[in-house]
């Protein structure tokens, strides 16, 4: 019999993740605040629910992927939340990106309800979610990790149990955000530098991508910047939430992260200018405003 899996949150990441769980043949029940997202998966064979509680009642493992810690709290503990519908054997896996302390607090409340929880944030953007190649960083008891591994393997190609406490996964995800955000900024600076030097941008990418300067960000987002293509794998709004979580954790742990402070200001300005739903590689716009010129061939549309 196929395992009964629930999925709550079918946004830019969750929709692809849930589709891959369904494609592996699991019995899947889904819920999302936007009902059209539910219908897309129902047409592929999933069952739609009317609430998070209904998802939990139908599932032995419930996956959650929503926007922030307030949304996670509401989905778990609010009216018609997961806890309301869960049974003692239910395993809850939060795959959202939130502050480590928030994840730890949620896990304590979950345990008080007699339930088990893992935090398992992901990296790989929309491409990884759609293709089932995400990196998944898991915190929580090893026995729960082993119980969950078969369904995590439907969504990711790199799955690491990083610690025995909920919140450990979120800490490693923030390490990921530090590295990825820093890569984005340096990539944008480099492309602006190349534009100013008058060299062919596509040939520049080809020349440097295979060497020591190569990175996932350069390969996947560099061409989008050149084309002025702001289709998101991860939006500016979501990136701001991630950077805010990094900054809070850095203050809590007395760690200097000056680059993250700079990025926060750039992204906050872009959000105020109405760019929040663009891909986070639209960071180039902030640098272009300072430089007074744009990256890419003259005449390309802005959006």
Verify whether residue 173 is a known catalytic residue: yes
Q: How is 25-88 classified by DSSP, letter by letter?
A: T-EEEEE-SSHHHHHHHHTTTPEE-SSHHHHHHT-SEEEE--SSHHHHHHHHHSTT-HHHH--T
Predicted local distance difference test score (pLDDT) of residue 35: 85
In the DSSP assignment, the letter for residue 201 is H
Q: What CATH number does the domain located at 4-165 have?
A: 3.40.50.720
Mean pLDDT of the chain: 94
Q: How much is the pLDDT for 301?
A: 61
Which tokens hold the place of 292?
A: 């007074």
Evaluate if residue 189 carries a pLDDT over 60: yes
Q: Is the pLDDT of residue 118 over 50?
A: yes
Report the candidate in 34, 33, 37, 36 with the shortest Cα–Cα distance to residue 16: 37
Task: Give CB contacts under 8 A, 24+ apart, made by 282-285.
Answer: 282/230, 282/236, 283/184, 283/185, 283/188, 283/236, 284/188, 284/191, 284/192, 284/225
pLDDT tens for 222-256 read: 999 999 999 998 899 989 999 998 998 999 999 99
Q: Residues of CATH 3.40.50.720 domain(s) within the chain?
A: 4-165
Parts of the chain belonging to CATH 1.10.1040.10: 172-291
Tokens 């869960």 sit on residue? 86
**Mean pLDDT, range 82-111, rounded to an integer:** 95
Give the angle 198-199-201 at the CA atoms, nearest 5°.
Answer: 115
pTM value is 0.90
Residue-wise pLDDT tens digits, 125-148: 889 999 999 999 999 999 999 999
Annotated active-site residue in 173, 203, 278, 285: 173
Query: What is the pLDDT at residue 1?
Result: 45
Which top CATH class is 172-291? Answer: mainly alpha
């Amino acid at each position: 019999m196929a395992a009964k899996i629930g999925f709550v949150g079918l946004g830019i990441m969750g929709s692809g993740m849930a589709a891959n769980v369904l494609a592996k043949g699991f019995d899947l029940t889904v819920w999302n605040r936007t009902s059209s997202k539910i219908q897309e998966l129902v047409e592929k064979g999933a069952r739609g629910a009317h609430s998070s509680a209904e998802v939990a009642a139908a599932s032995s493992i419930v996956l959650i992927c929503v926007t922030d810690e307030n949304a996670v709290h509401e989905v778990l503990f609010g009216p018609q939340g997961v806890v309301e519908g869960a049974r003692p054997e239910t395993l809850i896996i939060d795959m959202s990106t939130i502050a480590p302390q928030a994840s730890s607090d949620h896990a304590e409340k979950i345990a008080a309800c007699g339930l088990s929880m893992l935090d398992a944030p992901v990296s790989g953007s929309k491409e990884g979610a759609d293709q089932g190649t995400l990196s998944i960083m898991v915190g929580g008891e090893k026995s729960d990790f082993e119980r969950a591994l078969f369904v995590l393997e439907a969504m990711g190609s790199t799955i690491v149990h990083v610690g025995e406490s909920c919140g450990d996964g979120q800490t490693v995800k923030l390490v990921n955000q530090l590295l990825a955000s820093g890569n984005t900024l340096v990539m944008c600076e480099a492309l602006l530098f190349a534009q100013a030097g008058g060299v062919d941008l596509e040939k520049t990418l080809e020349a440097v991508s295979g060497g020591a300067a190569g990175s996932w960000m350069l390969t996947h987002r560099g061409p989008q910047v050149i084309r002025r293509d702001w289709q998101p794998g991860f939006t500016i709004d979501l990136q701001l939430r991630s950077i805010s979580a990094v900054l809070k954790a850095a203050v809590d742990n007395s760690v200097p992260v000056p680059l993250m402070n700079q990025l926060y200001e750039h992204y906050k300005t872009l959000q105020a200018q109405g760019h929040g739903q663009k891909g986070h590689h639209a960071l180039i716009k902030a640098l272009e405003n300072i430089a007074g010129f744009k990256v890419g061939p003259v005449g390309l549309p802005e959006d």
